[in-house]
Amino acid sequence: MRRPLWILAVLLSHWRRHPMQLATLLIGLISATALWSGVQALNQQARIAYDRAAATFGGSRTAVLVSKDSATFPQQLFVDLRRAGWPVSPMLEGRVQIDGRSFRLLGVEPVTLPSEVGNAPAVGRGSLQSFVTPPGEMLVAGETLRDLGLREGERPQANGTSLPPLRLQAELAPGALVVDIGIAQDILKMPGQVSRLLVGKSKAPHATLESVAGEKLRLVEPSAESDLERLTDSFHLNLTAFGLLSFFVGLFIVNSAIGLAFEQRLPMLRTLRACGVSARMLNTVLVIELVSLALVAGLIGLVCGYFIAAALLPDVAASLRGLYGAQIPGQLSLKPVWWFAGIAISILGALAAAAASLAKAIRMPVLATAQPQAWQHAQRRWLIFQSATALAVFAVAAVLIQFGDSLIAGFAVLAALMLGAALILPMVLQIALAIGQRSARAPVGIWFWADSRQQLSGLSLALMALLLALAVNVGVGTMVESFSRTFLVWLDGRLAADIYISAASDTQAKEIKAWLRDRPEVDAILPGGRADTQLGGAPIEVLGLPDHTTYRDNWPLLESTANAWVRLRPGDTCLVSEQLSRRMKLAIGDHIEVPAPGGSWPLEIVGIYADYGNPKGQIAVNFAALTRRFPQTPQTRLGLRVAPDRIPALIAALQEKFGLDDRNIADQATMKRESKRVFNRTFSVTAALNAFTLGVAGIALLTSLLTLANSRLPQLAPLWAIGLTRRRLAALELLKTMAVALITALFALPLGLLVAWCLLAIVNVKAFGWRLPFQVFPLQLIELLAVAMAAALCAAALPVARLARMQPATLIRTFVNER
């Protein structure tokens, strides 16, 4: 037992003498683990929130009965089904406005709630009497209570009505308000109506659905994946892809540190073997050493990952709320599996990064054989093999672009492009440097190019990391900038009114409208409203637009029939959002049947419009037609056209007259500012991860150069001996690093643009349902090029400065101690 410990002590003594190398290895492992586990923590946090949402009274984890052609159906069907032995429980869902903000109201019937449905037992255990007897109770999550700014027992106001007193129920999803169904029917003004029936798991025999409800209802089976999980898959895939990329960039550092340590320890390993340590024992101890280091780095990485996740969580929550309406709590709560997985990924990553070195150690002959020529041949063969693999990977990407038709295929194209580019980079650099060497005339110039080529094998992994980080930065930067510019143009069209009002109730809205009609500065009052329904089994919004020139002139349509706005007036046509048209493969001229309270509403599609940032599908119809078909639609939203110089005075007057605060009234500029803020926050996570990846790539380059610096002395010392000053040698070393970094960065630019095209034309379309125009932003590219060169300069500065200050004695020792 003591033998392996002695060998381990010898192996570890190397790190004691080379602390910088140990730091490099640990930094690589810590960065890889931290970024990966940070992203996983964010994903896990979101999934916990989705589970809570799904478990809230009949989310997608419960089988439900819904109307075949209408948003609601009569309560009598529930009574009939119960009598026929069906274990059903009624539920009514709608939205209420509290202080100008929209909340999801769920009406449940606690006595019949199936025991396995979400929080049913908790409702039952609580004071059932006080829940069902007026004024009842309104169950909310802690986050919702905080959002409302109210305490338990207080009664919020909605549409002029007092809602039941609030009661905290921690397991509920944020944003949901749960009341007794009778109270919900009163609040939503839908007496005797039910949105769906939750179906319990009772095995008792019952009549068939058709025999009781005829053709009116259909059964929706439970799904293992919640609606939110499905919707947000692409977002989490995106995060995971970033995490994975950072992880691999971190592993590049580990690989280069371990590779160099192995090269430096070769004489030690041979001595150990000569002293009688068997190959098996040596390799076992090498693995133990690596696993121990990975364990330490993994633990530190996990702590860093926790802090990264905690720092990014507010932005991720904002992104998920902005893009999908998902409510994610702002505090991290992690399961034990996250900690174990983090340690496991650190160990597996370290073993993967060290695989080549460990394999070499297994095959290492005890006697050193100096065969530089053979080594060079092997390098050339490896380069050719690597380039051939790159071409094969590019071919796979081309096939996927041609035939792939899914989000996974989109990400696979991206992965293939990046992998192929990384693999072919050493060959590109070899060719570029060979051209440089051929054009050089002066001896130092020839050495400069030749030595750069020789250095490539040691630097190529770090340069690959730099290439990937830069390409991702260019790609994501171009995508975000394209999106940003398109979004701003779109926002100008969508927010065409000058003032937006959200009244507290329909009554107040009527009073405001009446008051506004007498104001000469108001050119137009544009009422708006929206209703929720479903199409093809998925929830959609029906948006009501008044027939007015504001919309006709500004509303951004991607494509439309002639006179689309005129054709919208009678109420038998609609416009559909781009994502809905892509999801349901709808085109102009197609007909859809929209379930409405009074029955199915047939509509012809006359236009398709962009609706960026909306997770739900949406259709736009004439406002008057909407209020006819969905009479319960709240009519609290108004847009006003006002002369620009009269806007502040009118807002002040409205606020004074109707007690409206900033949440209920805003001018166009404020709305746009807020939208841009939400937009920017949505991409701040991407920007942060981009910066992290570039930072890790910079560290990879720095550590490679630092670790290479020592092994380069035998190459540099002879030049110093024949008359090149240390300062000149340092300048040449710096120039060499900058040259290879520049070639890499120049190669990264077109690759990044290709990545951007993939994101815009494939991934975005599949993930969100919208396609954005591809644009190139030269200034942004120049900026990134400068950042890359600055990173290379920083990375090269330290080893070069060391060389410039190196004592002659150190260089002389190279000749004395060469082994």
Partner 1 sequence: MLRVTGLTKSYRSAGEDVAVLRGVDLAVATGESVALTGESGSGKSTLLHLIAGLDAADSGEIALADSVVSRLNDAGRAELRRDRLGLVFQQFNLIPSLTVADNLVFQSRIAGRHDAAWLDELVERLGLKNFLRRYPEQLSGGQQQRVAIGRALAPKPLLLLADEPTGNLDEDTADEVLRLARDLVVRTGCGFLMVTHSARLAATLDRQVNLHAGVIA
Residue 807: exposure state from Cβ atoms within 10 A (0-12, 13-18, ≥19): exposed
Exactly one of 224, 275, 370, 562 binds partner 1 (CB under 8 A); which one?
275
Exactly one of 76, 278, 507, 725 binds partner 1 (CB under 8 A); which one?
278
Residue with tokens 């390098």: 379
Site for partner 1 in 479-498 (CB under 8 A): none
Nearest CB to partner 1, comparing residues 442 and 809: 809
Nearest CB to partner 1, comparing residues 285 and 503: 285
Exactly one of 271, 406, 554, 725 binds partner 1 (CB under 8 A); which one?
271
Nearest CB to partner 1, comparing residues 160 and 267: 267
Alpha-carbon gap, residue 461 to 166, rounded angstroms = 59
- With binding defined as CB under 8 A, does residue 274 bind partner 1? yes
Nearest CB to partner 1, comparing residues 270 and 728: 270
* Other Cβ atoms closer than 10 A to 97: 20
Identify which range of 6-14, 102-110, 446-454, 503-511 contacts partner 1 by CB under 8 A: 6-14
Structure tokens at 304: 């860093």
State the Cα torsion 69-72-74-78 to the nearest 10°: 100
**Which one-letter DSSP state was computed for residue 200?**
-
Alpha-carbon gap, residue 226 to 392, rounded angstroms = 38
Site for partner 1 in 356-415 (CB under 8 A): 366-367
Pairing mode, strands 499-502 and 637-642 = antiparallel
Alpha-carbon gap, residue 802 to 712, rounded angstroms = 12
- With binding defined as CB under 8 A, does residue 261 bind partner 1? no
- With binding defined as CB under 8 A, does residue 2 bind partner 1? yes
Q: Among 468, 5, 4, 462, which residue's Cα sits nearest to residue 259?
A: 462
Q: Which helix (H) or strand (E) holds 228?
A: helix 227-274
For the sheet containing 88-98, what is the strand order?
A: 166-168, 138-140, 176-180, 101-108, 88-98, 196-199, 63-67, 217-220
Nearest CB to partner 1, comparing residues 224 and 275: 275
Q: Which helix (H) or strand (E) holds 458?
A: helix 443-494
Identify which range of 145-153, 264-272, 300-308, 584-592 contacts partner 1 by CB under 8 A: 264-272
State the minimum distance, in angstroms, from the CB of residue 787 to partner 1: 38
Identify which range of 94-102, 268-276, 550-558, 736-744 contacts partner 1 by CB under 8 A: 268-276
Nearest CB to partner 1, comparing residues 279 and 300: 279
Q: Among 638, 601, 639, which residue's Cα sits nearest to residue 621?
A: 601
**Which one-letter DSSP state was computed for residue 168?**
E
Size of the site for partner 1 (CB under 8 A): 29
Identify which range of 114-122, 267-275, 378-386, 743-751 contacts partner 1 by CB under 8 A: 267-275
State the minimum distance, in angstroms, from the CB of residue 5 to partner 1: 9
Identify which range of 162-170, 171-179, 262-270, 350-358 contacts partner 1 by CB under 8 A: 262-270
Structure tokens at 136: 């009842």
Exactly one of 121, 267, 718, 773 binds partner 1 (CB under 8 A); which one?
267
State the minimum distance, in angstroms, from the CB of residue 347 to partner 1: 24
Alpha-carbon gap, residue 492 to 555, rounded angstroms = 9
Alpha-carbon gap, residue 602 to 617, rounded angstroms = 17
**Which one-letter DSSP state was computed for residue 476?**
H
- With binding defined as CB under 8 A, does residue 203 bind partner 1? no
Nearest CB to partner 1, comparing residues 22 and 804: 22
Structure tokens at 638: 């108004």
x/- binding map, residues 219-258, to partner 1, per CB under 8 A? ----------------------------------------
Nearest CB to partner 1, comparing residues 333 and 817: 817
Q: Are 57 and 325 in contact (CB under 8 A)?
A: no
Exactly one of 20, 281, 671, 761 binds partner 1 (CB under 8 A); which one?
281
Nearest CB to partner 1, comparing residues 10 and 785: 10
- In a 3-state reduction of DSSP, which class is residue 104? strand
Nearest CB to partner 1, comparing residues 276 and 723: 276
Nearest CB to partner 1, comparing residues 273 and 637: 273
Alpha-carbon gap, residue 156 to 153, rounded angstroms = 10
Identify which range of 228-236, 277-285, 302-310, 606-614 contacts partner 1 by CB under 8 A: 277-285
Measure Cα distances from 224 to 52, 391, 651, 767 in Å.
13, 40, 49, 20
Nearest CB to partner 1, comparing residues 281 and 798: 281
Identify which range of 152-160, 275-283, 577-585, 711-719 contacts partner 1 by CB under 8 A: 275-283
Q: What is the Cβ-side half-sphere exposure of residue 84, based on CA atoms within 13 angstroms?
A: 16
Nearest CB to partner 1, comparing residues 267 and 648: 267
Exactly one of 170, 268, 359, 378 binds partner 1 (CB under 8 A); which one?
268
- With binding defined as CB under 8 A, does residue 14 bind partner 1? yes
Exactly one of 7, 139, 734, 772 binds partner 1 (CB under 8 A); which one?
7
State the minimum distance, in angstroms, from the CB of residue 11 to partner 1: 9
**Which one-letter DSSP state was computed for residue 646?**
G
Which amino acid is present at 211? S
Residue 651: exposure state from Cβ atoms within 10 A (0-12, 13-18, ≥19): buried
State the minimum distance, in angstroms, from the CB of residue 715 to partner 1: 20
Nearest CB to partner 1, comparing residues 272 and 414: 272
State the minimum distance, in angstroms, from the CB of residue 360 to partner 1: 16
Structure tokens at 327: 């409510």
Identify which range of 139-147, 218-226, 279-287, 385-393 contacts partner 1 by CB under 8 A: 279-287
- With binding defined as CB under 8 A, does residue 17 bind partner 1? yes
The beta strands (E) that lie in 393-503 are given as: 499-502
Q: Are 702 and 794 in contact (CB under 8 A)?
A: yes
Alpha-carbon gap, residue 379 to 819, rounded angstroms = 22
Instruction: Concatenate the DSSP letters of all residues of 678-698 into one string.
Output: HHHHHTHHHHHHHHHHHHHHH
State the minimum distance, in angstroms, from the CB of residue 727 to partner 1: 27
Alpha-carbon gap, residue 448 to 283, rounded angstroms = 38
- With binding defined as CB under 8 A, does residue 549 bind partner 1? no
Measure Cα distances from 518 to 510, 523, 586, 661, 776 in Å.
13, 11, 44, 22, 50
∠ Cα 54 56 57 (to 5°):
115
- With binding defined as CB under 8 A, does residue 280 bind partner 1? yes
Site for partner 1 in 283-342 (CB under 8 A): none
Residue with tokens 């701040």: 684
Nearest CB to partner 1, comparing residues 265 and 494: 265
x/- binding map, residues 65-104, to partner 1, per CB under 8 A? ----------------------------------------
State the minimum distance, in angstroms, from the CB of residue 376 to partner 1: 16
Structure tokens at 437: 């060497």
Identify which range of 158-166, 269-277, 318-326, 533-541 contacts partner 1 by CB under 8 A: 269-277
Nearest CB to partner 1, comparing residues 283 and 534: 283
The beta strands (E) that lie in 137-207 are given as: 138-140, 157-158, 161-162, 166-168, 176-180, 193-194, 196-199
- With binding defined as CB under 8 A, does residue 277 bind partner 1? yes
Residue with tokens 């590019």: 394
Nearest CB to partner 1, comparing residues 112 and 284: 284
- With binding defined as CB under 8 A, does residue 6 bind partner 1? yes
Structure tokens at 422: 């990384």
Binding site for partner 1 (CB under 8 A): 2-3, 6-7, 9-10, 13-14, 16-18, 267-268, 270-281, 366-367, 817, 819
